[in-house]
Structure 1
Amino acid sequence: MDSVSSEHVTANNSMGRTGPLSGVVVLDITRVVAGPYCSMMLADMGATVIKVENPADPDYARTFPPFAGDAQFSAFFSQYNRNKKAITLNLKSEEGKTILKALVKKANILIENFRPGTMDKLGLGYEVLAKENPALIYTAISGFGRTGPNSSRPAFDNTGQAVGGLWSMNGYEDRPPVRVGTIIGDLSASLYAAVGTVAALREAERSGIGQVVDVSQQDSVLSLTENAVIRYTLENDVASPIGNNHPFVRPYGQYPCKDGYVFFGGYTDKFWKISCQLFGNAELVNDPEIDTMEKRFNEDTYKRRIEPILNNWFSRYTKAELEEIAGDKIPLSAIKTIAEVVEDPHVIARKMIVDVPVDTQMVRMIGNPIHLSNMGSPKMDQAPNVGADNAEIYSSLLGFSSEDIEHLRAEGTL
């Protein structure tokens, strides 16, 4: 096998994507969601993301439903791995370690989501890789972070929800707590990791020195608990499930209508006055029992006076009718099913539902919530098969010949 140059290069035009991160090379050594979503955000914005998988044990999210296309390829996997390249590499082999170090010399960023210490045990921790490329951004996503007494513990999304406090706050007060109905620990950690990675990249471009971006699911979930921490530290008030209510404003929650439910948040004096006028009860604005925000928040007053008023207003209309009547004037929105959201003209106009090829089929999936005025609409490439880009990546970045690649594949390195 030919020797590999140590000179750092960015992605060439034939391999890279267009966008603000065009030319940035990312080695993605992650699996499932906490990590793949982070690198997908970077790929959507133009980075060349190279997904690195063990040839004998690729990302098991490839087996997650639903499936699409003639080959029944995982659309779940595709949603978090679109716009990437894919190579195989056995990091447990000595040859594989050598090859990763060579790739690091060509990269700007490496993202991993192993349990802290795993990469060090492989001889591929940050200190080792930084010697190969001092400007390397090493982004590590884990359940508990790289420091602290619990750093070595295994974790899943539910772990983050449990230890970050969010699980204990969600649900109804007369029932056990309920997990948030999505993988908020994985997703929030990925988003924070993307922000931290871009910030560290900016610093590396300025100073030539890389660093570790350390993001934990516990930290990420904790940051989403709104006022729970200060309520506890200031007043010793421990947040607990309160259903669809809010701890200190009313009316602000879910209310039934003809065909479902709406969110109504008209708790301020301004919005309460507009609401009373819109629904034909202007006289309530000056009702001395409910004429201020503070009075309407009183639990007894709210139950006895406000709830019946709201139920009378909303029960006469459908979700669409209520949005037509009031949506432009007060905080009132239909509580939509996913089917309604996917078909929402506003969501479509925001390009939050995009067509992505999955095998032989075009699948509508979540777009990128970051909208940059100069970026345009990124091209959506399908998620790659295992090792689909071995020849391209290893030849263009490391100069391997087809014979080198075949030899490495035969011996189990690729």
Structure 2
Amino acid sequence: MTSTSTAPLDGVRVIDCTQMLSGPFATQLLADLGADIVKIERPNRGDITRSVGPNVGDSEITAYFASLNRGKRSVELDLSTADGAAALEALVETADVLVENYRPGTMAKWGLGYDDLRTVREDLVYCSISGFLEGPYRDLPAFDMVAQALSGSMSITGEADGSPARPGIPIGDICAGMYAVIGITTALYDGAGQYIDVPMFEGLVSWLTERAGRTFVTDEPYPRQGTVHPTLAPYRTFETADGWFAVAIGSDGTWQSLCDALERPDLAADDRFETNNERVAHREALTAELVPAFERRTNDEWFDLFRDYGIPGAPVKDTREVFEDEHLRASGVLSDLEIDGVELPFPVCPIAFSGSTTQSGHEPPRLGEHTVPVLSESLPDETVAAILERRE
């Protein structure tokens, strides 16, 4: 896999037998890093997200599908049929990686499990993304909501006096997708080929990190506190004159800077707020002092002031505002993708390499757009014609 390109994974071919979010997110990252992604889709239906609106302009591409499948090549194959399975085997002969996220055992039932395909390509890296590793939950339906509920992450999300909340981002799916990329690139580096099983549930549990550590030490569940930090203060959002502003005071020095910015030397001199432990112990009194102060200025005014004083803090931006952010646009991670007159500046893989570059955004494929050219690389013309005839 010697490369003449600056893309880190140029020359790597990935067979993508995934749909929805976790698998396509993983293969989208691999595409951004330069891999050739051949996406296998069910004839006439394709990835489930092709039918999850809204559509981009008047095109047949949905926003959901476009967000996860840019730059891939789409091939329609029914893997449950003998000719579909045989075609996939032919594609695997020239592939380095296969990624799938069907329910455990499905690919093996079709004769396309790891043990089957490594006889075709001995050094194949075969990655399965599932809900759970081997254990009592192995065969549970793997949805992001289920993984979040079981993993503890949902229990610590939401307001203290409210119900558990699902984070706004599908972190179970994304967590599994990122671990899949780590596993795949590690296995490619090893070079021998192997099977990788990547779970959503165990992955999310590993993300508990400090939350787990606090639980082990106190033998108490980590508290649900909204944006408030249980051991730092002030560390939360405050309502401003035109929105919400996140404040992250992690040391007594930055607390002093905040008091200077607020022009409140009385707060800095108050014994109740002198140290972080004291501020945590007197959190309610501290909040009562700060709430009216933050209401007097706008988000932009606070952001300018915080940067002038070197204080950690930022306005809470919505998903429209963030793509207008001056820093994000200057960082060079946004693509110039446009479909049917709609701009879709999705970020490419946001890793800055000193000697490599990630790929720019490409259009997502139409269903089956690359079936003939891709299959023709590995199969006789008459076999390709027969597959297309049965597909119809």
Normalized against structure 1, the TM-score is what?
Answer: 0.89
Which AA in structure 2 matches 1:186?
D
Which AA in structure 2 matches 1:268?
S
**2:147 aligned with 1:160, yes or no?**
yes
Q: Give distance in 2, aligned partners of 1:314 and 1:69.
A: 40
**2:218 aligned with 1:239, yes or no?**
no
Which AA in structure 1 matches 2:225?
I
1:365 deviates by: 2.7
Aligned to 1:314: 294
1:122 deviates by: 1.2
Which AA in structure 1 matches 2:363?
Q
- Counterpart contact for 2:160–2:226, Cα < 8 Å: yes
How many percent identity over aligned positions?
A: 32
**Change in 2 beyond 3 A, CA 1:362/1:257:** closer
Name the SS for the 2:67 alignment partner: helix
Which AA in structure 2 matches 1:111?
V
Q: Which moved more, 1:219-228 or 1:121-130?
A: 219-228
Q: Give distance in 1, aligned partners of 2:249 and 2:215.
A: 27
**2:389 aligned with 1:410, yes or no?**
yes
**Change in 2 beyond 3 A, CA 1:287/1:76:** same
**2:344 aligned with 1:363, yes or no?**
yes
Which of 143, 162, 167 in structure 2 is aligned with 1:180?
167
Q: Give distance in 1, aligned partners of 2:273 and 2:338.
A: 55
Which AA in structure 1 matches 2:387?
L
Aligned to 2:97: 109
> Which aligned pairs between 1:116-131 and structure 2 lie closer than 5 A?
116-131=104-119
Q: Give distance in 2, aligned partners of 1:374 and 1:46.
A: 14
Q: Which moved more, 1:65-74 or 1:35-44?
A: 65-74
**2:36 aligned with 1:53, yes or no?**
no
1:354 deviates by: 2.4
Q: Give distance in 2, aligned partners of 1:356 and 1:104.
A: 30
Which AA in structure 1 matches 2:346?
M
Question: 1:152-200: per-residue Cα shift (whole Å, max 9, x none)?
Answer: 1112111111111111111122222111122111111111111111111
Aligned to 2:176: 189
Question: 1:8-42: per-residue Cα shift (whole Å, max 9, x none)?
Answer: xx7999xxx86110100000000011100100100
Q: Which moved more, 1:277-286 or 1:187-196?
A: 277-286
Give aligned pairs, total.
Answer: 391
Q: Give distance in 1, aligned partners of 2:249 and 2:81.
A: 62
Q: Give distance in 1, aligned partners of 2:137 and 2:311.
A: 46
1:399 deviates by: 4.6
> Which aligned pairs between 1:210-359 and structure 2 lie closer than 5 A?
210-298=193-281, 301-304=282-285, 306-328=286-308, 329-358=310-339
Name the SS for the 1:132 alignment partner: coil
Name the SS for the 1:408 alignment partner: helix
Question: 1:126-174: per-residue Cα shift (whole Å, max 9, x none)?
Answer: 11111211211111111113x2221111121111111111111111222
Name the SS for the 1:35 alignment partner: helix
- Counterpart contact for 1:25–1:109, Cα < 8 Å: yes
Name the SS for the 1:245 alignment partner: coil
**Change in 2 beyond 3 A, CA 1:275/1:360:** closer
Unpaired runs of 5+ residues, structure 2, are none
1:230 deviates by: 2.2
Which AA in structure 1 matches 2:385?
E
Q: Give distance in 2, aligned partners of 1:62 and 1:359.
A: 16
Question: 1:284-343: per-residue Cα shift (whole Å, max 9, x none)?
Answer: 333333211211110xx2212x21332243222100001101135011111111221111
**2:19 aligned with 1:38, yes or no?**
no
Name the SS for the 2:118 alignment partner: helix
Q: Give distance in 1, aligned partners of 2:287 and 2:172.
A: 34
- Counterpart contact for 2:56–2:62, Cα < 8 Å: yes
- Counterpart contact for 1:73–1:359, Cα < 8 Å: no
Name the SS for the 1:100 alignment partner: helix
Name the SS for the 2:195 alignment partner: strand
Root-mean-square deviation (CA, aligned residues, Å) is 2.1
Which AA in structure 2 matches 1:405?
V
Unpaired runs of 5+ residues, structure 1, are 1-9
- Counterpart contact for 2:90–2:379, Cα < 8 Å: no
Q: Give distance in 2, aligned partners of 1:382 and 1:319.
A: 36
